[in-house]
Amino acid sequence: MAHEIVMLGTGNAFLPNGRHHSFAIFDKRHIIDAPPTALISLRRKGLKVSDIETIFITHLHGDHVFGLPFLLLERTYISDRELVKPLTIVAAPGARQRIEQLCDIAYPGSMERILKKVRWDENTKGRTEDGWSWERFIVNHDDSVDPFGYAFCSDDGAKFVHSGDSGPCEPLYSAISDTDLVIIEMAIPEWVPSEHHHKPSDIDRLSKSHTDKKFIITHTFIDSANSSFEKITEKVFPQHQNNVYHVDDGTVISWDNFWQVGEK
């Protein structure tokens, strides 16, 4: 069976030129996070909000969840007015209350119907109806926003890991050792004093120690190569191994017995 991941957004919180916030959809049914640019990212690929069955939340920073009110509002008043299509939000315990509060701040009372219909899944492991098993694991980020990554595996053998926002850490690297494809953040340049994100040198070390795996860079600080505007932070890409892909928004990754990174 063929599977497909579309990188709907690849930028960090500061939106480098030519990039929306980090955002991915797989098999046109399941999204990872819901950033502020989520709705326009979906619109640009012709994807319907009401076709989304699962929202996997990695953590509660604004560039990962502040698009949720807009997605739920659109679904309620545009694409699924009868609220007949199922929707599951997978998130850590405690996230539900904060997400519901966010929706109420954004549009008081407007999303009460859909929030009552949402199925909330706070388990650390689960399975989608179309055959994706998933496991959530803690990562190295700001503990106040409940940071997690996810490992996914389909019934027919497709495997990938999404790091969420994370610096180097054992749980993430353990998950990487048992997968084929890694969607991993590289949010900051070398000179930023933080251990809560991967830097280019971290990606270099990791890719050299796992040459059999493909690494897809997301949440990047580097402008798109297609941008002609003055740089935000950086325009030059690091010289990484050939198993590291600095992709643009819209890049498609497909699986049919093995993962292939395609064009937009």
Band (pLDDT 50/70/90 cuts) for residue 125 is: very high
Strand partners, 148: 138
Question: Can you tell me the distance from the alpha carbon of 252 to that of 264, in angstroms, rounded to the nearest whole number?
Answer: 6
Nearest to 196 by CA among 188, 184, 204: 188
Task: Tell me if 263 is assigned to some domain.
Answer: no
Domain annotation covers residue 264 = no
Task: Supply φ then ψ for residue 214, to 5 degrees.
Answer: -95, 135
Mean pLDDT of the chain: 97
Specify if 113 maps to a domain.
yes
Q: What is the CATH number of the domain that holds 240?
A: 3.60.15.10
Q: Considering its fold, how many domains does the chain have in total?
A: 1
* 261 belongs to a structural domain: no
Residue 147 belongs to a domain: yes
Is residue 46 in some structural domain?
yes
How far apart, in whole angstroms, are the C-alpha atoms of residue 171 and residue 151? 11
Q: Domain residues for 215?
A: 3-255
Beta strands in 33-154 (DSSP E): 54-56, 88-90, 119-121, 125-127, 132-138, 148-154
Residue 193, token pair as written in the block: 């004093």
Counting residues of the chain whose pLDDT is more than 70, the rounded percentage is 99
Whether residue 57 lies inside any domain: the answer is yes
pTM for this one?
Answer: 0.97
Structure tokens at 144: 């106040």
* Residue 260 domain flag: no
pLDDT by residue (tens digit) across 146-193?
Answer: 999 999 999 999 999 999 999 999 999 999 999 999 999 999 999 999
Q: What is the pLDDT of residues 55-105, one digit of tens each?
A: 999 999 999 999 999 999 999 999 999 999 999 999 999 999 999 999 999
Q: Which helix (H) or strand (E) holds 123?
A: none
